[in-house]
Every structure is written in structure tokens, then in C-alpha cells.
């Protein structure tokens, strides 16, 4: 008997045409791990006079999956297209570089991608459809650039045969040595003023989608997902010098700040490099205690994403990579 060993568990995804309609999971992400878990709400009943339950009734069943791993200019495309928005990428000149833009609307529904996810090995595997990213985080430090998050999916199908010979997504990691942080007073000035003593940046967006549960016997899991008010924040740990204490006055006056985290990698072709640009308009929502960071006095500022009418958005992420399509 072959054992289902932990080390052989592989995750593959497929881009769905219709959310919830399963497709072959023919894409292999090489940096990101997606680990599913079965979720269920079961009501148990104990009759009067009895010591033990006599009946169990399943109400809801769905899948949740954790997302983790190092950030890569390519794998991130699939995650951002699911949680923020999806638009066809633009070829850069005549090169093999393509620019992807992910910018959720303020007052309209966003077009996003859902995935069929297969997880397991040749010994045993399972899958779920309507996989949608509901939470995503990017953590930047000089040690690493890491991804975290979670995915919601319809109920888990056990005992499947995984799609054979999936296409591996090209792997190009986002390195700590490629990252810079900027903070400016206007959207027009984004990327102008570098914070030379930024130590850590934590960007998170969550509460993005929720499942819809109708009374419909033909549906075995949730029917679809709907948008909810997202919670997006950016925490910056900086030296408490003149530049690092700049957000204090912005906090006191309720002034918006425009923050850019940018990673620029090697050149793909012509003058176009691998590139990740995360822009956010933020209001200071929290200030941390003073602390030691590499021997200098530091402070953490947390910004809540805020819509800016002049900019026309609250946040925007772009990726420049070699992917022509999902």
C-alpha cells in the first residue's frame, strides 16, 4: 500500500471560464503553496432524556485554503487577478514583457478570476471549484518578500485524478535587494520621495468576498460569491528620523498619504525589467510604539486604504512579467 506522503502533495490550478464550473487544473505555480481544508457546519441533536446525540444534519460545506510562499513576479499575477481585478495585459513595445494592472473599482463590481484547484499526488488527490482569493498579504523586509493569504472554494471533491502534465509558470522571485519604499503627498508625485530608512512593509487586503447560501437543493455548496467592503492596510516600520516622523502631522490633520512599494528586477527584454509596483492612498489609522530596529530608533505607521477622487482609486498594483495571459 502506497502512503500519501506530505512531501509529494502538489497544487495545480485552472482558470475557470464560468465561476464554479470546474476545468482541468493545467497550471503549476512554482512559488506559491495553496493548502486546502474541508469546512462544514453540522448541527447535531440530542433528544430529551438521552445522553448522546442521535442525529447530525449538514447545513453548509465549503473549502478554505491557505496561501503562502515567497513572492514571485509571475505567480502573483494569478492571486492579484482573483482578489483585486482582472484586465488583459499590455505588451511593452515589441518585447516579451507584458504589463498587468490590478485596480479595484470604488463604486462598481470588479471582474475577477476564479480557479479550479487540484491538490494531492498520484496516491490520492482532491479538488474544489470556484476558488477565489479572499485575503492577500505581502510582507517586505531585507530578509525576504513573502506572500500570505486565503482562498474560498466550493465543497471538496475527494478521490480525483489530477490533470497530467501541467504547464509550470516561469519562476522569477521578488528579491529584498530589489525593493524600495516611497511616500508622497499627492498621487501625481507617487514614487518621488524615497524613505531611505524603511525596514519593513506589510500590505494586506481582506474581507474581499463572501459566499451566498440560498435554499436550493440543486446546489451542493455555496451558489456564488459577492463583494463585501474590503479591509486594506499598509504598515510601515521606519526609522523615527525627520522623514520617518512625517506621517505624524498627516495623522493629526487627516491628510492622505500616497505610498509606493516597488521592486525592480533584471531586464526581461529591451528596456523592460521584471517589476512589481504597489501604490496605495492611505490615511494613518494606527501608530505603534517606538522600538529598536537594527540598532536605530524606529516607529510603525499603519495606513488604511482610502479612496482619492483626484487619483480615481484607493490602490493599484502593476506587474511586469512575461505572462501573456492566464
Residue 124 belongs to a domain: yes
CA 129 to mean position of chain CA atoms: 18
Q: Would you state the cell numbers that stand for residue 36, as one nine-digit string?
A: 486546502
The residue-averaged pLDDT of 81-109 equals 97
Residues 6+ apart with CB under 8 A from 44: 53, 55, 56, 57
Quick one: pLDDT at residue 2?
86
The pLDDT, as a whole number, for residue 245 is 96
| Separation CA 74–CA 112 (nearest Å) | 17
Cell of 125: 488527490
C-alpha cell at 200: 519593513
Residue 274, in any domain of the structure: yes
Whole-number Å distance between alpha carbons of 313 and 280? 9
Q: How many domains does the chain have?
A: 1
pLDDT digits (tens, 9 = 90+) for 110-121: 999 999 999 999
Could you tell me the pLDDT band of residue 242, with boundaries at 50, 70 and 90?
very high
Kindly state whether residue 154 falls inside one of the protein's structural domains: yes
pLDDT value of position 131: 98
Q: Are 270 and 93 in contact (CB under 8 A)?
A: yes
Whether 67 maps to a domain, the answer reads yes
pLDDT tens digits, one per residue of 258-302: 999 999 999 999 999 999 999 999 999 999 999 999 999 999 999
Bridge-based pairing of strands 27-28 and 257-269 is: unpaired
The whole-number pLDDT of residue 122 equals: 92
The two counts, helices (H) then strands (E), for the chain are 2, 21
d(CA 190, CA 256): 12
Burial class (CB in 10 A: 0-12, 13-18, 19+), 213: middle
3-7, long-range: CB < 8 A, 24+ apart: 3/123, 4/120, 4/121, 4/123, 4/124, 5/121, 5/123
pLDDT the model gives residue 1:
72
Full domain range(s) for residue 293? 7-46+56-321
Residue 139 lies in a domain: yes
Query: Which residue is associated with the grid cell 495606513?
Result: 303
State how far the alpha carbon of 164 is from the alpha carbons of 8, 29, 181, in Å.
15, 14, 42
User: Average pLDDT over the chain, rounded to whole?
Assistant: 97
Indicate if the pLDDT at residue 226 is higher than 90: yes
Asked, for residue 184, whether it belongs to a domain, the answer is: yes
Whether 183 is covered by a domain: the verdict is yes
66 and 57 Cβ atoms separated by less than 8 Å: no
CA–CA separation, 275 and 23 (whole Å): 30
Q: Does pLDDT of 202 surpass 80? A: yes
Distance separating alpha carbons of residues 276 and 254, to the nearest angstrom: 29
Q: Is residue 2 part of a domain?
A: no
Contact 282, 190 (CB under 8 A): no
pLDDT 10s digits, 140-196: 999 999 999 999 999 999 999 999 999 999 999 999 999 999 999 999 999 999 999
Amino acid at each position: 500500500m502506497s502512503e500519501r506522503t506530505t512531501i509529494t502533495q502538489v497544487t495545480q490550478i485552472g482558470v475557470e471560464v464560468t465561476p464554479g464550473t470546474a476545468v482541468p487544473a493545467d497550471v503549476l505555480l512554482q512559488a506559491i503553496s495553496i493548502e486546502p481544508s474541508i469546512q462544514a457546519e453540522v448541527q447535531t441533536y440530542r433528544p430529551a432524556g438521552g445522553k448522546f446525540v442521535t442525529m447530525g444534519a449538514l447545513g453548509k460545506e465549503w473549502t478554505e485554503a491557505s496561501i503562502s510562499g515567497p513572492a514571485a513576479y509571475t505567480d502573483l499575477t494569478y492571486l492579484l487577478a482573483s482578489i483585486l481585478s482582472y484586465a488583459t495585459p499590455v505588451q511593452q513595445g515589441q518585447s516579451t514583457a507584458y504589463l498587468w494592472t490590478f485596480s479595484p473599482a470604488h463604486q462598481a463590481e470588479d471582474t475577477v478570476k476564479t480557479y479550479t484547484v487540484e491538490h494531492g499526488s498520484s496516491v490520492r488527490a482532491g479538488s474544489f471549484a470556484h476558488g477565489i482569493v479572499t485575503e492577500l498579504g505581502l510582507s517586505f523586509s531585507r530578509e525576504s518578500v513573502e506572500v500570505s493569504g486565503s482562498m474560498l472554494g466550493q465543497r471538496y471533491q475527494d478521490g480525483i485524478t489530477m490533470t497530467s502534465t501541467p504547464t509550470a509558470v516561469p519562476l522569477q522571485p521578488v528579491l529584498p535587494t530589489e525593493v524600495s519604499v516611497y511616500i508622497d503627498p499627492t498621487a501625481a508625485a507617487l514614487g518621488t520621495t524615497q524613505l531611505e530608512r524603511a525596514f519593513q512593509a506589510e500590505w494586506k487586503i481582506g474581507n474581499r468576498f463572501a459566499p451566498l447560501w440560498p435554499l436550493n437543493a440543486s446546489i451542493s455548496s455555496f451558489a456564488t460569491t459577492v463583494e463585501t467592503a474590503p479591509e486594506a492596510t499598509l504598515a510601515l516600520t521606519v526609522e523615527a528620523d525627520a522623514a520617518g516622523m512625517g506621517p505624524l502631522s498627516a495623522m493629526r490633520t487627516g491628510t492622505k498619504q500616497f505610498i509606493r512599494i516597488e521592486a525592480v528586477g533584471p531586464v526581461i527584454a529591451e528596456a523592460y525589467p521584471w517589476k512589481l509596483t504597489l501604490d496605495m492612498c492611505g490615511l494613518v489609522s494606527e501608530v505603534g510604539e517606538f522600538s529598536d530596529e537594527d540598532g536605530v530608533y524606529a516607529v510603525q505607521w499603519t495606513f488604511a486604504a482610502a479612496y482619492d477622487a483626484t487619483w480615481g482609486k484607493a490602490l493599484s498594483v502593476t506587474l511586469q512579467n512575461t505572462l501573456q495571459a492566464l
